[in-house]
Amino acid sequence: MPSSPRLPLPRGSADAASSAAQARASLPSVDRLLRSSQGRALSRIHGHELVAGCARRILATLRERACEGKLASEATSDEALAQALRAECDARLAPRLRGVVNLTGTVIHSNLGRAPLAEQAIEQVAAVAREPSNLEYDLEAGARGERDAVVERLLCELTGAEAATVVNNNAAAVLLTAAALSRGREIIVSRGELVEIGGAFRIPDVIRSAGARLVEVGTTNRTRADDYAAAIGPRTGLVMKVHPSNFAIEGFSAAVGERELAAVAHAAGVPCVSDLGSGALLDLSRHGLPREPIVREAVEAGCDVVTFSGDKLLGGPQAGLIVGRAAAIERIRRHPLKRALRVSKLPLAALDATLRLYLSPERLAERLPVLRLLTRPQASIRTMAEALAEPVAAALAPRFEVGVVELASQIGSGSLPVERLASAGLAVTAAGGLRSARADSALHELAHVLRALPVPVLGRIAGRRLLFDLRCLKSTEPLLAQLPALARALRP
């Protein structure tokens, strides 16, 4: 059967196909790119395997662009290929976890690592990371020891508890406590305290995961001691109070305090547990801040177990701290989940150093970063904003305008959710009277450029303004140093 005659391609299609073929042909082989001066230099620094992988990725991308007819001839020059190879190697080796400039106005930001560590904690982490340590070795006895011993004495001294243990976060602390003290039994919680801890982790889910059954008492806005007493029965494992740290119920409301709740629980012969969430170790009102429940107060009120976080108001590393009566803590420590949820030597080193700072409360505000940031005077923040306004405006001109404004910071991470701290910063608006949709688009584009800087800068967009709250900016240098790069990125 005779073959069908081939129809000639349109001239434009033929030219495009020819150009794509020429572009592909101009690309070097992987071996040739590796034998270039830049390829050899990078291989000496990083090793052959990594550089070869980068070369393959670069050439595959360029071939794909050539097939689409989108490969410019200058992209295949020796200089362009050398630059692309160097950039690919740098990107491959760049850390995924990076420092950022926090101008969001949230001090203890859950997405930005929560509390910054004190220098003493950073130094102790570095020291323990470099050398072997006595993590589970009793130096006095010359035998195996317990890692809890690293911080237990300090925790007991600072909270008044009989014993203490540590796990990797407060959700784990609640889970372990519930599993150790009430697995297969009931846990009584007020309906007004069935909080979502964050990231969709909810108290009912934690209790269910611990193998316990939740018993709700009271109503969303009002729960009384009689509600707990009426719910206690032969299947009750414990009574739990959960501090609603990330929301507030106002108006016609009532809740039962730890002292009264502990009395109700102990009269029935069941333990009382308090989940404080943020867990302040000192009265924040001494530093001019709103008051938050103190761990020592919950212990003194009679709670058998108190759980709280290490990386919020305490100002240390991520950890779940469990303190209370010796018998209850021993049951928690012996539970099989304890090993699965334990912390490693690095958080323990940071926690040990952070707790020791509390032994000198008069010096705490200058040594503990989270407290220093929370107590920073608005006047000093405004002075910094005034110093930055002109250089930032010059970098963003002519597309944006910059002004100094008063702002309200928040503590963050579920700590004192309705309280605000008087602050100051910069407000960036789109220049030229752009319509709302175009102005919003311009601000989001600017926010994207700021996130792409060598040290990403994070603000917040509100009311057609990009706001830079300077409460957490320790010095102007991290911002000033990047303004030239920011200006170049915004050029048309």
3-state secondary structure 81-103: HHHHHHHHHHHHHCCCCCCCEEC
Residues 358 and 245 in one domain: yes
The answer to whether residue 1 sits within a structural domain is no
Contacts of 281 (CB under 8 A, 6+ apart): 158, 159, 294, 295, 296, 313, 314, 358
Residue 386 belongs to some domain of the structure: yes
Which of 310, 339, 364 corresponds to the end of one domain?
364
443: nearest Cα among 420, 467, 423, 425: 467
Residue 482 within a domain: yes
Contacts of 316 (CB under 8 A, 6+ apart): 115, 117, 121, 310, 350, 351, 354, 355
Q: Which residues of the chain have pLDDT under 50?
A: 1-12, 14
69 Rama class: left (phi>0) / alpha (psi -120 to 50) / beta: left
In a domain, 69, yes or no: yes
Q: What local confidence, expressed as pLDDT, does residue 352 receive?
A: 98
Please tell me the total count of domains within the chain. 3
Note whether 353 and 380 are same-domain residues.
no
- 171 and 315 together in one domain: yes
**Dihedral sign from CA coordinates of 96, 97, 102, 108:** positive
Is the backbone peptide bond immediately before 398 cis, with ω within 30 degrees of 0?
Answer: yes
Q: How far apart are CA 184 and CA 350, in angstroms?
A: 36
Do residues 382 and 290 share a domain? no
pLDDT at 301: 97
- 375: number of Cβ within 10 Å: 15
Separation CA 236–CA 214 (nearest Å):
10
Structure tokens at 219: 């109503």
pLDDT of res. 449? 97
pLDDT score recorded for residue 488: 94
Residues 460 and 332 in one domain: no
Query: What does the alpha-carbon distance between residue 38 and residue 83 come to, in Å, rounded to a whole number?
Result: 8
Helix (H) or strand (E) holding 188: strand 186-190
Contacts of 53 (CB under 8 A, 6+ apart): 92
**HSE toward the beta carbon, residue 384, CA cutoff 13 A:** 23
The secondary structure of residue 425, as a DSSP letter, is E
Kindly state whether residues 141 and 69 are assigned to the same domain: no
Q: What is the dihedral of CA 376, 283, 114, 363, to 10 degrees?
A: 60
Which of 308, 342, 364 corresponds to the end of one domain? 364
For residues 203 and 340, state if they share a domain: yes
Give me the domain span that covers residue 171.
119-364
Quote the tokens at residue 247: 């929301």
Bridge partners, residue 165, by sequence: 322
Rounded CA separation 158/252 (Å): 35
Assigned domain for 12 exists: no
Task: State the amino acid at position 264 in one-letter form.
Answer: V
Q: Domain check: are 161 and 203 in the same one? A: yes
Residue 50 lies inside a defined structural domain of this protein: yes
In Å, how far are 64, 158, 227, 234, 435 from 207, measured between CA atoms?
52, 28, 20, 18, 51
Opening angle at CA 252, ends 249 and 257, nearest 5: 65
Question: In terms of domains, do 385 and 341 share one?
Answer: no
d(CA 238, CA 130): 43
Instruction: Say yes or no: 424 and 327 in one domain.
Output: no
281 within 8 A of 158, measured Cβ to Cβ: yes
Q: Convert the pLDDT of each residue in 271-321 to its tens digit.
A: 999 999 888 999 998 888 888 889 999 999 999 999 999 999 999 999 999
Answer with the one of 330, 364, 398 that is the final residue of a domain.
364
Distance CA 433, CA 417 (A): 35
Residue 4 lies in a domain: no
In angstroms, rounded to a whole number, what is the distance separating the alpha carbons of residues 151 and 351?
7
CATH of the domain at 433: 3.90.1150.110
Helices (H), 29-161: 30-34, 37-46, 48-67, 78-93, 119-130, 149-159
- 333 and 189, same structural domain? yes
In a domain? residue 206: yes
Residues 319 and 348 in one domain: yes
Distance from C-alpha of 448 to C-alpha of 430, rounded to nearest angstrom: 15
| Alpha helix ranges (H) inside 232-325 | 258-267, 295-300
Contacts of 335 (CB under 8 A, 6+ apart): 176, 179, 180
Give the separation between CA 150 and CA 360, rounded to whole angstroms. Answer: 19
DSSP state of 415: B
